[in-house]
């Protein structure tokens, strides 16, 4: 039962990743691309942590944490650049 729920949640997350990737490629403005990049970072981080829980390897939680922090700093830097403050 838990594996089925995990598989469905993973499929939904991958679908969200594909849709946000489409918005990243086709977004008419840079703001749309920035938000899509942030969404992709959040979804990828959640997939990394879900894989860590599924595989039982705690090191992937640390990888997900570092990836999330790097993604956050990148999006903040990109937003500052688009705002004109960087």
Q: What is the pLDDT of residue 48?
A: 94
Q: What is the pLDDT of residue 85?
A: 75
What distance, in Å, lies between the first and last C-alpha atoms of the chain? 50
Widest pairwise Cα distance in the chain: 50
Number of structural domains (the chain) is 1
Per-position pLDDT tens, the chain of length 86: 888 988 899 999 999 999 999 999 998 998 899 999 999 999 999 999 999 988 889 999 999 999 999 999 999 999 899 888 76
Q: Give the pair of three-digit tokens for residue 38.
A: 């942030």
Cβ atoms within 10 Å of 37's Cβ, excluding its own: 19
Contact of 2 with 18, CB cutoff 8 Å: no
The Cα–Cα gap between 37 and 25 comes to 10
The Cα–Cα gap between 36 and 38 comes to 5
Q: Could you tell me the residue range of the domain that residue 69 belongs to? A: 2-83
The Cα–Cα gap between 32 and 78 comes to 12
């Amino acid at each position: 039962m838990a594996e089925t729920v995990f598989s469905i949640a993973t499929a939904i997350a991958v679908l969200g990743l594909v849709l946000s990737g489409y918005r990243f490629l086709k977004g008419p403005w840079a703001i749309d691309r920035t938000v899509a990049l942030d969404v992709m970072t959040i979804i990828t981080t959640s997939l990394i942590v879900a894989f860590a829980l599924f595989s039982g390897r705690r090191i992937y939680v640390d990888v997900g944490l570092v990836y999330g922090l790097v993604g956050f700093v990148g999006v903040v830097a990109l937003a500052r650049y688009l705002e004109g403050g960087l």
